[in-house]
Structure 1
Amino acid sequence: MCCAMLQAVRTTKPLVVNLTNYVVMNNTANALLAVGASPIMAHSREEMAEMMGFAGALVINIGTLDSHWIPRMYYAVEKANANNKVVVLDPVGCGASALRTEVSRKLAALAETLIIRGNASEIIALAGEAAQSKGVDALDSSEQALNAAKQLAHQHQCTVVISGATDYVVSTDKVCALDNGHAMMPRVTGMGCSHTALTGAFAAVCEDTWEAALAATAVLGVAGELAAEKSAGPGSLQLNLLDSLYLLGEPALAARLNAKLLGGTANA
């Protein structure tokens, strides 16, 4: 499944509209290009309706939130809904401030077809539980966020991805744990944001949001492992990750993927 979707992304080159934060625009655009998708950073209300008419998916990342961006984000989600497009929400720093928490919850409630991708503390806070965070960094483990993710999946009829040492992809009826990636990956700015952007690319080629989120998580995790093997530190990891995403093929993805469903094993 994951291998077939990776090929679909490379064949169709879906356009992913990113309303994302200033810190990671370059990182996420390069990750999308490396995997074979087509990124566009679109922040103007005046062009959003047109963009969502032909885009494959919408990525909303609240990392550098302000009063100008908030209404644009709501409008973008409305236009995604009108065009039956998936919204991938990254609630960066949800729980760190009342504003981030409120906006994240409103965006999640507004989206009709939704994937949420966040770290454990963000997912816990989004669900309305007490989370431990330091700015945008999670102090909770991904396992601790599982109940919150299940709650959100049922509340919004959506797919939720928890990033951590073990990644979890959660829907209303399925949970998959993925043990790929490398401990150096959180040392690179925008790694989670790149995960979110890649999820948009896979959602653009697959109607099943859980399968799309699983494929994106698998691809980034395996690419991260391959990149870490030839990286001296976070700086070289960032460069090598782009090469790994570009070069990743079916044999490596199938051989390295360590994903387990409740009661079974996921196929690469």
Structure 2
Amino acid sequence: MIDAGHHLAQMRERAPLVQNITNFVAMNVMANILLAIGASPAMNHAPEEVGEFAGLADTLSVNIGTLDPEWVSSMEIAARVMAEAGKPWVLDPVAVGATALRRDAGARLLALKPTVIRGNASEIIALAGADAAGKGADTANAVSDAVEAAQALARQTGGVVAVTGEVDYVTDGHTAYRIAGGHALMPRITVLGCSLTGVVAAFAVGQPALPATVAALASYAVAGEMAGANAAGPASFQVAFIDALHNMTPQDVTARARITAA
């Protein structure tokens, strides 16, 4: 079984530089979450510099949450640099089925074969080209509804697909795992899913994509459980969650992670 704490320790030792082309809503909290867990974040999206910066970064996360055509071009530029350099990049297809712009962006980025795709069930189903029941960035599908779509996308890209929800599902198209844990307040904070995509990108540096992704999700879930013990509501949970990411040890994650083969 995957030792999530070991992968956390490896990520922290590398302290990877994570380039994030993410949405305006998420930038600040996402940067603080990446710092807290042990990575080094950078937020940039100007097409004039994203390719050059991708050459410096260790990994890339791409989030289509607040999208415009110029940002799509930046995402493609950075993803190509990463792919050509053999460095990992992670796609977060936020609300990909909602509009024509998002469907087009999702298809263009999918063609660049992300190392990992992380989304909710409705996003994964829509990205795979099937009808999903999502409403904006929120899912109306259960994780179990997206298993076939996740497997198909993983085989199509040769990468890993993570469907996050009450119990996460991660697959490379052949092997799969489920990760339980977290806390009921996590979906009440809009940026936590977006931030998780950056955490997955950090874990993927120098580590095989499947166990790295599982370990990233398990570490996040453990931090959620730890934060929930001290939170009175969404606002205090966000603060407690960042503290938990900073304070948790690899031993905490190894002991508390709930990972099962699917």
TM interval, short-chain normalised = over 0.9
1:53 aligned to which of 52, 55, 76: 55
Q: Distance in 1 between matches of 2:206 and 2:6?
A: 10
Equivalent position of 2:230 in the other structure: 230
With normalisation by structure 2, the TM-score equals 0.96
Shift of 1:7: 1.1
Tell me if the contact between 2:180 and 2:218 (Cα under 8 Å) persists in the aligned partners: no
Equivalent position of 1:36 in the other structure: 38
* Total equivalences in the alignment: 260
2:153 aligned with 1:152, yes or no?
Answer: yes
Q: Which runs of 4+ in 1 moved over 3 A?
A: none
Across the aligned residues of Structure 1 and Structure 2, the Cα RMSD in angstroms comes to: 1.1
1:28-72 per-residue CA deviation (whole Å, 9 max, x = no partner) reads 101100001000012122222322223111110000001221111
With normalisation by structure 1, the TM-score equals 0.94
Tell me if the contact between 2:59 and 2:205 (Cα under 8 Å) persists in the aligned partners: yes
1:202-226 per-residue CA deviation (whole Å, 9 max, x = no partner) reads 01131x1111111110110110011
Q: Distance in 1 between matches of 2:188 and 2:256?
A: 22
Percent identical? 43
Q: Distance in 1 between matches of 2:250 and 2:61?
A: 26
**Greater RCO, CA 8 A, separation 6+:** 2
Matched letter for residue 63 of structure 1:
G
Tell me if the contact between 1:56 and 1:205 (Cα under 8 Å) persists in the aligned partners: no
Tell me if the contact between 1:34 and 1:243 (Cα under 8 Å) persists in the aligned partners: yes
1:75-114 alignment to 2 at 5 Å? 75-111=77-113, 113-114=114-115
Equivalent position of 1:266 in the other structure: none
Tell me if the contact between 2:6 and 2:254 (Cα under 8 Å) persists in the aligned partners: no
Matched letter for residue 147 of structure 1:
E
1:181-232 per-residue CA deviation (whole Å, 9 max, x = no partner) reads 11110000111101101001101131x1111111110110110011011101
Equivalent position of 1:6 in the other structure: 8
Shift of 1:251: 3.0
Equivalent position of 1:71 in the other structure: 73
Matched letter for residue 255 of structure 1:
A
Equivalent position of 1:21 in the other structure: 23
1:2-25 per-residue CA deviation (whole Å, 9 max, x = no partner) reads 212211222221000001110000
Tell me if the contact between 2:98 and 2:136 (Cα under 8 Å) persists in the aligned partners: yes
2:108 aligned with 1:122, yes or no?
Answer: no
Shift of 1:80: 1.2
Where 1:40 maps in the other structure, the secondary structure is: strand
Q: Distance in 2 between matches of 1:46 and 1:67?
A: 14
Structure 2 unaligned blocks of 5 or more: none
Q: Distance in 1 between matches of 2:125 and 2:240?
A: 32
1:116-265 alignment to 2 at 5 Å? 116-206=117-207, 208-262=208-262
Q: Distance in 1 between matches of 2:31 and 2:133?
A: 30
Matched letter for residue 192 of structure 1:
G
1:117-158 per-residue CA deviation (whole Å, 9 max, x = no partner) reads 000000000001110011110000011111100010011111
Q: Distance in 2 between matches of 1:169 and 1:76?
A: 25
Structure 1 unaligned blocks of 5 or more: 263-268
